[in-house]
Amino acid sequence: MCGIIGYLGYREAYHILINGLKKLEYRGYDSSGISIINKNGYSLFKTKGKVNELEKKIYSFKNKLTGTVGIGHTRWATHGEPNDINAHPHVSNSNNLVMIHNGIIENYHAIKIILLKNGYTFNSKTDTEVLVNLIEYIKYENNLSLEEAVRVSLNEIIGAYSIAILEKSNPETIIIAKLGSPLIIGIGKKEFFIASDPIPFINYTKNVIYMKDGEMAILKKNKELDLRKIINNHKLNPIIKRLKINLKEIEKGEYKYFMLKEICEQPKTILDTLRGRLLISKKIICINGIESNKEKFINANSIIIVACGTSWHAGLIGEYLLEKYTRIPVEVEYSSEFRYRNPIIGKKDIVIVISQSGETADTLSALKLAKKKGAFVFGICNVVGSSIARNVNAGVYIHAGPEIGVASTKAFTSQITILTLIALKIGKYKSIISDLSYKEICKELSLIPEKINYVIKYNSSIKKISNLLYYTNNFIYLGRGINFPVALEGALKLKEISYIHAEGFPAAEMKHGPMALIDKNIPVIVISPLKGSYKKMLSNIQEIKARRGKIIALINKDDVQVRMLADHVINIPDTIEELSPLITVIPLQLLAYQIAFLRGKNIDQPRNLAKSVTVE
């Protein structure tokens, strides 16, 4: 994780770096720092806490922070607790090199021992301080330029990194390199920006280079970018892409938190996901990545979905949809488990990787493993140009727009939307789904945004329930069938932003153990639309009620029976069973938001978490 930023050009670097770091805080926010260099040397400030703590610290020294070249970092701690000393940038023993790093150097301990033997000392507990000193050691021992020393050093290390280095004696240069962690270069007129994602510099330039693994670049004032391969120093031709991001998408506007904005955006983001793909008048679904690989999907032996967190929950919903409409066996795996268990997959299997950020380290590794084993890998990503998007055999973007709140919301509903389209498309190819159901589902899918809008607009019961329950310490979420993953997702949302313990279960599993938890104090959120296993759910609710559990039920307007049993109800519009998760998840997102809000939490930046998990 961690966010890195850098600037080299003709503008004062300070505001670019600080404002950029604020936009990167979703990647980590336990400490931050910046360094700005000019011909008189460099200044460096770092501190525990968020970027506004850094700003406060710098405030009285601001005049000293002049210069048009600099780097900055916001941290999510891996090696060493979050404190001032472990914050980046880190400086080499001679004070000549200053470095920021996102990633993990796995063999840092062995390198540290060698450096200690050679008289090096260390202030922090970080792997980054080891790397910057390794570069210095190799530079001086072999009388190399910084550029050469960086290359030699990086060929010695094992791990993942995106780094940026300044050299005191060479104040008009930044050297950067990437392996495993994202790094993007923004190309302006006589200026370069670097960052972990393009959002920090989007209002200066939309021309970007997505660095690839194993590349380094030398950025010099008034010079062309020099891009090289780390392994052999071969010069590379940079490929410049033009970004299409609307600035409004990355601002909070009238909302207090990005999470609320992103929840409320869902009627629009689902339409964006459907745009050009669900051609309702022609009753056609178009997904290029599926169409151009039609035979592979039709003849697949199995589909394995790999993902983490909320994307994994979307995968579980995908399993129901794909098995129902395509009759291809589907398994859903956590990326972190899949990658370490030597899975049995081959040429006739399809691995679908789902990732909002497209940078999740475990999912990226799972993808690489699946490819190595010969499977066809299909990606479902939100962030355009992300590492996962670039590494898959084929894929589709969900087009949900930038998701900034750490708790994923709009990406989830767009992922489900895409999975529905994929399942329908393959089902149609295989003639498993009838024309009638196909048309009916397509029609209903086009109505979903309006139904979500209704839930968002008329949510007064959610506010009322939140007011009654926000002090509670444990919650249970129950669903059945396609709404079981929604129960998991509802519990995850509550946990991550309000720090309340919550668990999701398939409702029928309660009597196999969890029922022991039920008493009059524990709220049980039941997802109980009239379709599907409604009757079974009704019995499960009665079982809980008999043990004095407090029932909060998501129900349709015409439901009389659950309404009578429940302590509180949240009304949801009716839809067909297969599409119901798109609706049932919305009140659960709002409930988590309201409760976290009442508990006074920093909703967009929950403790200990980061938006993009680029470490294992």
Q: How far apart are CA 291 and CA 205, in angstroms?
A: 34
**160, 177, 613, 615: residue in contact with ligand M6R (rule CB under 6 A):** 613
Residue 310: CB minimum distance to ligand M6R, A: 3
- Residue 108 Cα to chain centre, angstroms: 27
Structure tokens at 353: 């990787």
Structure tokens at 243: 């970004």
If one counts every other C-beta atom within 10 angstroms of the C-beta of residue 280, the result is 14
Strands 474-479 and 501-506: parallel
Q: What sign results for the dihedral spanned by CA atoms 369, 370, 374, 376?
A: negative
The secondary structure of residue 180, as a DSSP letter, is B
**78, 96, 311, 466: residue in contact with ligand M6R (rule CB under 6 A):** 311
Concerning whether 268 is annotated as a catalytic residue, the answer is no
Told to check if 336 binds ligand M6R by CB under 6 A, we report: no
Structure tokens at 302: 């199995």
Told to check if 357 binds ligand M6R by CB under 6 A, we report: yes
Long-range contacts (CB closer than 8 Å, 24 or more residues apart) made by 288-297: 288/396, 289/378, 289/394, 289/395, 289/396, 290/394, 290/396, 290/422, 290/425, 290/426, 291/425, 292/394, 293/376, 293/378, 293/393, 293/394, 294/429, 296/350, 296/376, 297/326, 297/350, 297/426, 297/429
Told to check if 603 binds ligand M6R by CB under 6 A, we report: no
If one counts every other C-beta atom within 10 angstroms of the C-beta of residue 501, the result is 13
Return the residue nearest ligand M6R (CB atom).
309
Residue 258: CB minimum distance to ligand M6R, A: 12
Restricting to residues 492-531, name those near ligand M6R by CB under 6 A.
Answer: 492, 496
Told to check if 205 binds ligand M6R by CB under 6 A, we report: no
Told to check if 309 binds ligand M6R by CB under 6 A, we report: yes
Told to check if 308 binds ligand M6R by CB under 6 A, we report: yes
Structure tokens at 78: 């891996």
Give the residue carrying structure tokens 């669900």.
278
Told to check if 30 binds ligand M6R by CB under 6 A, we report: no
Residue 308: CB minimum distance to ligand M6R, A: 4
Point out which span in 350-358, 471-479, 524-532, 545-553 binds ligand M6R (CB under 6 A): 350-358
Q: How many residues bind ligand M6R (CB under 6 A)?
A: 16
Paired residues of 173 in beta bridges: 220
Told to check if 356 binds ligand M6R by CB under 6 A, we report: yes
Binding marks (x or -) toward ligand M6R, 358..397, rule CB under 6 A? Answer: --x--x----------------------------------
Point out which span in 114-122, 248-256, 260-268, 353-361 binds ligand M6R (CB under 6 A): 353-361
Restricting to residues 438-497, name those near ligand M6R by CB under 6 A.
Answer: 492, 496
Angstrom distances, CA of residue 182 to CA of 122, 214, 492, 562: 27, 11, 26, 49
**Residue closer to ligand M6R, measured from CB, 584 or 612:** 612
**Residue closer to ligand M6R, measured from CB, 129 or 333:** 333
**Residue closer to ligand M6R, measured from CB, 136 or 359:** 359
Told to check if 181 binds ligand M6R by CB under 6 A, we report: no
Concerning whether 611 is annotated as a catalytic residue, the answer is yes
* C-beta of residue 271 within 8 angstroms of C-beta of residue 399: no
**92, 205, 269, 310: residue in contact with ligand M6R (rule CB under 6 A):** 310
Side-chain-facing half-sphere of 276: CA atoms under 13 Å: 8
Told to check if 355 binds ligand M6R by CB under 6 A, we report: yes
∠ CA 26-30-33, rounded to 5°: 90
**Residue closer to ligand M6R, measured from CB, 479 or 490:** 490
Stated as kind and residue range, the H or E segment containing 362 is: helix 361-372
**Residue closer to ligand M6R, measured from CB, 370 or 613:** 613
Residue 328: CB minimum distance to ligand M6R, A: 23
**Residue closer to ligand M6R, measured from CB, 406 or 518:** 406
Binding marks (x or -) toward ligand M6R, 403..432, rule CB under 6 A? Answer: ---xxx------------------------
Told to check if 596 binds ligand M6R by CB under 6 A, we report: no
Omega of the bond leading into 514 within 30 degrees of 0 (cis)? no
Catalytic residue among 2, 264, 381, 442: 2
Q: What sign results for the dihedral spanned by CA atoms 183, 187, 192, 197?
A: negative
Site residues (vs ligand M6R, CB under 6 A): 308-311, 355-357, 360, 363, 406-408, 492, 496, 612-613
Catalytic residue numbers, as ranges? 2, 611
